[in-house]
Amino acid sequence: MRAPNSPPNRSAAAWFDTAAFTAAPQFTLGTSSRNPVRGPGLQEADLMLAKTFRVTERSHLEFRAEAFNISNTPPLSDPNGSFGSPAFGSITGAGNPRDFELALKLHF
């Protein structure tokens, strides 16, 4: 059996080598392991900047700017593992892109 995790040109359209899989004959078990293919990993960096301003002696105002997934690296979903499906071996979904959040908090 060839290694399915090492295609020559990996992309979202062909994440693993689909030619490494064949259908098992009827009434027999296949020789593949339980989870032979690994999906893409998650790489995400978040950033938060904050500044506190004194309003009175007992109260202060906190300003926060937050950025989630600052590098805008797409968090790809796992590849389609349904053998025989037209989308077998491709990634068709992704998670949330970069997100910004601004916040004001008054402490009194």
Residue at 29: amino acid letter: L
Per-residue pLDDT of the chain in tens (108 residues, 90 and over written 9):
456 666 667 778 888 888 888 888 888 887 777 777 878 888 888 999 999 999 999 999 999 999 998 888 888 888 888 788 888 888 888 888 889 999 999 999
The tens digit of pLDDT for each residue in 65-74 reads: 999 988 888 8
In 2-108, the DSSP E strands lie at 47-54, 60-68, 99-107
Please give the tally of structural domains in the chain.
Answer: 1
CB of 96 closer than 8 Å to CB of 72? no
Range of the domain at 98: 1-108
Residue at 21: amino acid letter: F
User: Token pair of 84, please?
Assistant: 């025989």
